[in-house]
Amino acid sequence: MTPDVRVFVLDGNTGGNQDGTAPEAGSARVPSVVLEVLGQSFGVAAERGARSRRQTWLDTFDWRLYRAGLELEYEHAARGGRLLLTKDKVPQAEQPVDNWRRDRPHLADDLPAGPVRDQVARLASPRALLPVATAAGPVSVTRLLNADGKTVARLVVDHPAVTRGGQTVSLPVRLAISEVRGYPGQARKAARLLAGVPGVDAAHSSAFLAAVAALGLHPGAYSSSVHAEITAQMPAPVAVATVLLGLVDTLEQNVDGVLRDIDTEFLHDLRVAVRRTRSGIKLLGDVLPGSRPYAPEFKWLGDLTTPTRDMDVYLLGFGTLTARLVAASPADLEPFRAFLVRRRAREFRLLTAGLRSARFNTLTGHWRKVLLEAQGPGRKGRQARSTNNGSWVLTADELAVARTARVFRRVATHGAAITAGSPPEALHDLRKRCKELRYVLEFFASLHDQAAYRKVIGDLKQLQDCLGEFQDSQVQREEIQTLADAMLAERAAPAATLLAMGELAANLVQQQAEARANFARRFTAFAGPAGQQRVRDLLARPL
């Protein structure tokens, strides 16, 4: 990997032709002033032959690489190509790749083995890598020579362009000084000279950022978390409608990824948006006229997605499940895995039919209309402390404090009543209350003191993890029994597979018992005296 010592852009020169089109390969020109300045200290010689560069940048739908400060580039070549990973413009890893289909998503885990995959899969898995932007254009390389005529650095001038809506948009011309191994001082010297050329500025953003900006994309814009712009003094109905509108956006943004079955996280994010919406309607719907009738429809939508997600959870965690086997061999479970794949395919067909149905489109369309009406015009500037028919309107902050306190009390009461003899249903029920509390906290997160908020959320998350493990172990164990029956009915269950599934079920019983043993400690940490004080601190408001 040859590092670029420094990268520059040509000021006020987009590098395109007069008619606005991008230059053809081989027509890249090096500005004469640049050659003049470099020529005072180096011999300069143009590298022979027309060159061009085509780059495609990849990231997950939720911008995991971008958020980690990474850029993943696929550089096209006549034979194969290569993947390059950079962080803050510094190369981290590269690897050649053959048979890369750049036009379709790739699961990070499916990348060929190599240093790029090692770093990327850890961050991106189980998400797919999607092509985010492609830039192409001619490149010229000028060799910088010492007194012996030896190449000691290279000037690489790149004229990239992207295509947007059928139009070619030229990006700023990029000039890079590329180091020749063993001659770092010469490359630094060339970079210093280049920095002094009028009209040449240090490149503050990468070619990737220039490309996505030209395409009108906003890196990092998508997030599955709640990101509503609400203020403390906003009327409560407006705030609730704003939160719920954000959830409809998230839901709709994920539909295409689910239908194309790009990766499992589209469905996961869609389901979380549905669950949050249902909790929003249940806990806050009284301040939002016309919202309650939608609760059954969102239940339908949630139920529609559950079977496919259940299979996804099994398949994603299959390696972990089989790793715990002691008596059986992982190979014994292969028929079970194959059965899960077939079952998922069946459930997925039902899911996609539902998401393409008029019922789904009506639900999201009408729901959005209800929320927009509740938001009303000029929503962001509205203040609640004006009279409305002579009565005070509840503010977003008042609603946040009152509802959070109410849901917390429910969690505290339910949890305190759980003893060693309580049935599993009591813990399942507490898990639901905890989810509601988590959502109501997230809806109004921007209104709280952030330090206090993080403490409460941290403890709550640990309690939820414990309750989740308890319930998931039980559900999975019951599901294994049901699936074993189904496999027997299909005559797809060899004896070794059934025995291995029995061992899985036994492991899950043990896992559930461990979660149960941890419950009291986790609950006390969250809702004991210290935890209650933390919630009081969170909800306290200055007088």
**Chain residues in the site for another protein (CB under 8 A):** 2, 143, 148-151, 180-183
Q: How far is the CB of 112 from another protein (least distance, A)?
A: 17
Q: How far is the CB of 77 from another protein (least distance, A)?
A: 10
**Which is nearer to another protein, 185 or 376 (by Cβ)?**
185
* Tokens at 202, concatenated: 């240090």
Q: How many residues does the chain have?
A: 543
User: 65 vs 57, 59, 76, 107, 130, CA distance in Å?
Assistant: 11, 6, 20, 14, 11
**Which is nearer to another protein, 158 or 503 (by Cβ)?**
158
Q: How far is the CB of 186 from another protein (least distance, A)?
A: 11
**For residues 203 and 9, is the Cβ–Cβ distance under 8 A?**
yes
**For residues 464 and 431, is the Cβ–Cβ distance under 8 A?**
yes
**Which is nearer to another protein, 115 or 376 (by Cβ)?**
115
**Which is nearer to another protein, 53 or 534 (by Cβ)?**
53
Q: How far is the CB of 189 from another protein (least distance, A)?
A: 16
What distance in Å separates the CA atoms of residue 495 and residue 332, rounded to the nearest whole number? 9
**Which is nearer to another protein, 55 or 178 (by Cβ)?**
178
- Is the peptide bond prior to 335 cis by the omega test (within 30 degrees of 0)? no
What distance in Å separates the CA atoms of residue 340 and residue 322, rounded to the nearest whole number? 14
What distance in Å separates the CA atoms of residue 518 and residue 34, rounded to the nearest whole number? 68
**For residues 135 and 161, is the Cβ–Cβ distance under 8 A?**
yes
**For residues 68 and 85, is the Cβ–Cβ distance under 8 A?**
no
**Which is nearer to another protein, 122 or 150 (by Cβ)?**
150
**Which is nearer to another protein, 92 or 168 (by Cβ)?**
92
Going by C-beta distance under 8 Å and a sequence separation of 6 or more, which residues neighbour residue 50? 25, 26, 138
Q: How far is the CB of 60 from another protein (least distance, A)?
A: 29
**Which is nearer to another protein, 149 or 421 (by Cβ)?**
149
Q: How far is the CB of 46 from another protein (least distance, A)?
A: 13
Element (H, E) at 509: helix 495-527
Q: How far is the CB of 183 from another protein (least distance, A)?
A: 7
Beta-bridge partners for 131: 58
**Backbone phi, psi, residue 372, to 5°:** -65, -40
**For residues 123 and 198, is the Cβ–Cβ distance under 8 A?**
no
Q: How far is the CB of 93 from another protein (least distance, A)?
A: 13
Element (H, E) at 140: strand 128-145
